[in-house]
Each structure stands twice: as structure tokens, then as C-alpha cells.
Structure 1
Amino acid sequence: MTATGRVGAEFTAAWRSFLRRRTAVFFTFFFPVLLILIFGVLVQTQPTGGGLFTEPAGYYVPGYLAVVVLFTPLSRIGSTVARHRDGNRFEKLATTPLSRTEWLLARTLVNVVIIGIASLLILGLVVLVTGAEVALSPALIPFIGIAVALFCGVGALLGSLADSTDGTIAASNTIALPLLFLSETFVPPDLLPTWFQPIVNLSPLTYFARGVRAVTNEASAAVWGRDLIVLCVLAVGFVALGAYALPRTD
């Protein structure tokens, strides 16, 4: 069997495993919907007022997408790696032609599909509920796919290095929560202390938020191209690190 065939077989198995876990399916799509209903309907944006949500509704589209792009890969890949490690499943994997890199690639592709579907749901709901003006561009596809791959790599690292599944989940939340609100998603940089604003550039999610915001505002590729390049470089690096960190049995 070729590498493509091995990845495809693992992708199919992982996809079916996800669909069988109805609770995981439900909350994967319900959590971002709940967030949109809270912020978009109950809190609402107030462009002419004061407070946190002072930007137009379209400004927060990257933040809503970031919820699934960030949390889902970190928790799903991280907990899966931790469970496989604790159950010695990587020892069984070593007896098959499927390499650790191919295993992580297949799992990453599953998350890209899942989060792609969730992103379509989020975009439609944001437009319907908040009235945000969102330009649907093909450029959104690479931003979402590459960001998902990046955080799958981070999740693989956490799952390999944490001492338990619970520890992996705790570490994922500890990393994800600050990134979600301090990466030009929901909080504009000018609301942060001056000394902290350059630190925002250290977050991979910042480049996702900037790029998606530019794309949904119909900006030219010259505006969002740099952000996509940075995401690509970071994704390659973290996926390579994540694959290398997966438990070894040789």
C-alpha cells in the first residue's frame, strides 16, 4: 500500500470514530454556536459606545472562527495522542506500515474537514444573527486549513509531553484561553497596555485573525499574503515537531 493509501485508510477510520462519538460531534459544533449567540445576540456590538465590543460585527468573525480552529485541534489531537500513549497503541502502530508522520497527517486531515464544516456553520450564523458583512473568499480555505494543521501539531506536542490525558486537556485549555483573547480576535490591540502590544505578534493565532479579517473585508492578497506565509512556516514547523515528539517504540 502506498503512503497515500495508508493515510487515506487512517483518515477513514478516524472519521468514522469521530462520527460514532455523538457527544463529541454535538459539542464540536454547539460550543461556537453558543458563543455567537452570547456575544452576537445578548451582548451585541456597540460601535458608537464604550466597552469591549466596540468594533463592527464583522471585526469579530476571526474570533468566532478561532474558537474551533484553536480549541478543537488542541483538545482532539492532544487527548487522542495521550490516550494512544497510555494504551500503548503506538507500540501496535509500530508493527504496521503506517508511520507516525502519516498517522498525524491523517488525523490532521480529519480535523481540517471537521473544522471546515464548523466554519461554514459559523460564518452563516454570524451573518444571520449579527448582520455582519462578510466577504466569502476562496482565500479563507487555506487560512483555516493551515491554522488547523498548525494547532494539530501543537496538540500532538502536548499529548506527547504531558503526563496524562487530564494533564493534556488542562495544558490545552491553559494555552488556548489566553491565545483566544490576546491574538487580535475579540480584543483590539489598542485596548491592551502599550508594553503588551508587541507580544501579541508572538501568537500564531494573531496571523490567522489578521489574515481572515483582511480576507473577509475583501482586502488584496498583498495585505493578507504575509500572514498566510507566516502561518505556513509555523504550521510546517509545529507539525514536524509534533510528529517527531510522538511516542517511539524503536
Structure 2
Amino acid sequence: MTAIGRIGSEFGAAWSSFLRRRTAVFFTFFFPVLLIVIFGALVRTDPGGSGLFTEPPEYYVPGYVATVVLFTPLSRLGSTVARHREGNRFEKLATTPLSTAEWLAARTAVNTVIIGIASLLVLVLVAVLTGAALPLSPLLIPYIVFGVVLFCGVGAVLGAVTESQDGAVTASNTIGLPLLFLSDTFVPPEMLPEWFGPLQNLSPLTYFARGVRALTPGQSGDPVGPLVILAVLAVLSFAVGAYAVPQTD
């Protein structure tokens, strides 16, 4: 069997496993919906005012999409790797032709499909609840794909270095929450201390948010530069994640 065939077989198994876990399916799509309802519909934007959510609705579109692109792969890959370690599944994997890179590629592909569906749902809800114009450029697709690949790699590393599945989920939330709100997503840079600007550029989610915002009608920016940076970071993250996935337990 070729590498593509092995990845395809693992993809099918992982996809079926996801669909069987109804609670996981529900919360995968429920969390971003809840976020949009709270911040998009209940906490209305007030352009020209003061405080948070004073930008036009279009400004926050990247933040809503970033929620699923960030949290879903971090928590899913982190908990999956940790669960496989606890069940000694990687020891069984080592006896098959499937390499750790192929295993991670299959899991990343599953998450790409899941997050693609979730992102579409998010965009529809944002348009309905806030009236924001949506980024309909074809470049949105590679932004989502590279973002998923990047954070799947990070999630794999978290699952490999934490001691348990609960530890992996805790670590993903500890990393994800600061990144979500401090990466030029929901909080404009001018509202943060001046010294924090260079640190914000160290977050990979910043390039996702700025690039998607540049694709959004009524917003400005360079849509290509951040995509190139995100692609490079995605390749590096995937390589590190594949290396971190244990071949034996």
C-alpha cells in the first residue's frame, strides 16, 4: 500500500471515530456558536465608542474563525496523542507500515475537514447575527488549511509532552486563551501597551488574523505576506509534531 493509501485508511478510521463520539461532535461546533452569540449578538459592537468591541463588525470576523482554527486542533490532537500514549496504541502503530508523519497527516486532514465545516458555520452565523461582510476570497481556504496544519503540529507536541489526556487539554487551553485574545483578533493593537507590539508578532495566530482581515471587505492590509509566513510556520510545526509523536510508548 502506498503512503497515500495508508493515510487514506487512517483518515477513514479517524473520521468514523469522530462521528461516533457524539459529545465531541456537539462541542466542536457548539463552542464557536456560543462565542458568536455572546460577543457578536449580545455584546454589540459600538464603532466610535470606547472600550472593547468598538470596531466595525468586519474587524472581528478573523477572531471568530480563529477560534475554531486554534482551539479545535490544539485540543483534539493533544488529547488524541495523549490518549494513544495511555492506551499503548503507538506501540501497536510501530508494528505497521504507517509512519508517525503519515499518522499525523491523516489526523490533520480529518481536522481540516471538521474545521472547514465549522468555519463555514461560523461565517454564516456572523453574517446573520452581526451583519458583517464576509471574506469570500479563495485565499481564505489556504489560510484555514495552513492554520489547521500549524496548530495540529502544536497539539501533537502538547500530547507528547504532557502526562495525561487531561493535562493535554489543560495545556491547550492555557496556550490557546492568551493567543486568542492577544493576537490581533478581538483586541486592537492600539489598546495594548506599546511594548507588547513586538511580542504580538511572535504569535502565529497574529498572521492568520491579519491575513484574513485583509481579505474582509472594509478592512485593509496585505493578504499575501501573512499567508507566506503562516505556510512556513505550518510546515515547521508539522515536522516538529511528527517528530514528537512517539513511535513506541
TM-score (norm 1): 0.97
Q: Secondary structure at the match of 2:76?
A: helix
Displacement of 1:219 in angstroms is 7.6
Match of 2:193 in 1: 193
Displacement of 1:166 in angstroms is 1.3
- State the alpha-carbon separation in 2 of the partners of residues 193 and 135 from structure 1: 29
Q: Secondary structure at the match of 2:115?
A: helix
Match of 1:133 in 2: 133
Displacement of 1:170 in angstroms is 1.0
- The letter for the 2-side match of 1:166 is D
Displacement of 1:49 in angstroms is 1.3
Tell me the alpha carbon deviations over residues 133-160 of structure 1, each in whole angstroms, 9 at most, x when there is no partner. Answer: 1231111000001000000000000000
Tell me the alpha carbon deviations over residues 11-49 of structure 1, each in whole angstroms, 9 at most, x when there is no partner. Answer: 011001001111111111111011101111111100021
Match of 1:35 in 2: 35
Tell me the alpha carbon deviations over residues 164-207 of structure 1, each in whole angstroms, 9 at most, x when there is no partner. Answer: 11111111111000000000000000000011111100000000
- State the alpha-carbon separation in 1 of the partners of residues 129 and 167 from structure 2: 37
Q: 1:203 to 1:139 in 2, by over 3 A?
A: same
Match of 2:227 in 1: 228
Judge conservation of contact 1:135–1:218 (CA < 8 Å) in 2. Answer: no
Judge conservation of contact 1:36–1:64 (CA < 8 Å) in 2. Answer: yes
Where do residues 69-80 of structure 1 align in structure 2 (5 Å cutoff)?
A: 69-80=69-80
Tell me the alpha carbon deviations over residues 94-144 of structure 1, each in whole angstroms, 9 at most, x when there is no partner. Answer: 111111100000000000000000000000110011000123111100000
Displacement of 1:217 in angstroms is 2.7
- State the alpha-carbon separation in 2 of the partners of residues 106 and 177 from structure 1: 26
Match of 1:94 in 2: 94
- State the alpha-carbon separation in 2 of the partners of residues 218 and 187 from structure 1: 18
- State the alpha-carbon separation in 1 of the partners of residues 70 and 135 from structure 2: 22
Judge conservation of contact 1:215–1:224 (CA < 8 Å) in 2. Answer: yes
Identity in percent: 71
- How many residues were matched structurally? 249
Q: Secondary structure at the match of 1:202?
A: coil
Where do residues 4-15 of structure 1 align in structure 2 (5 Å cutoff)?
A: 4-15=4-15
Q: Secondary structure at the match of 1:237?
A: helix
Match of 1:105 in 2: 105
- State the alpha-carbon separation in 2 of the partners of residues 120 and 170 from structure 1: 27
- State the alpha-carbon separation in 2 of the partners of residues 148 and 39 from structure 1: 23
Where do residues 1-250 of structure 1 align in structure 2 (5 Å cutoff)?
A: 1-217=1-217, 223-249=222-248
In structure 1, the gaps of 5 or more residues are none
Displacement of 1:86 in angstroms is 1.1
Judge conservation of contact 2:101–2:242 (CA < 8 Å) in 1. Answer: yes
Q: Secondary structure at the match of 1:195?
A: helix
RMSD over aligned CA atoms reads 1.4
- State the alpha-carbon separation in 1 of the partners of residues 176 and 75 from structure 2: 10
- State the alpha-carbon separation in 1 of the partners of residues 16 and 96 from structure 2: 20
TM-score (norm 2): 0.97
- State the alpha-carbon separation in 1 of the partners of residues 26 and 55 from structure 2: 30
Judge conservation of contact 1:183–1:203 (CA < 8 Å) in 2. Answer: yes
Judge conservation of contact 2:135–2:215 (CA < 8 Å) in 1. Answer: yes
Judge conservation of contact 2:58–2:218 (CA < 8 Å) in 1. Answer: no
